[in-house]
Amino acid sequence: MGSLKLVDYVGFAEAEGRFYVGIAMEQALLEDS
């Protein structure tokens, strides 16, 4: 059960990381144009 919780946490952190990377890329594209 502990490892399942760890996997859930890692998956959440990865999804959150992609979310912030997407925002950063969008901001960069807006500043570029």
Which pLDDT score, from 0 to 100, does residue 14 have? 92
Complete DSSP assignment for the chain: -HHHHHHHHHHHHHHHHHHHHHHHHHHHHHHH-
- How confident is the model over 1-33, as pLDDT tens digits? 567 788 888 888 999 999 999 999 999 999 987
Which pLDDT score, from 0 to 100, does residue 5 have? 86
Residue 14 has which token pair?
Answer: 């990865």
Which pLDDT score, from 0 to 100, does residue 27 have? 95
Which pLDDT score, from 0 to 100, does residue 21 have? 94
Quote the pTM value: 0.51
The whole domain housing 25 covers: 1-33
User: Buried (b) or exposed (e) across 8-33, using 16+ Cβ within 10 A?
Assistant: eeeeeeeeeeeeeeeeeeeeeeeeee
Which pLDDT score, from 0 to 100, does residue 2 have? 66
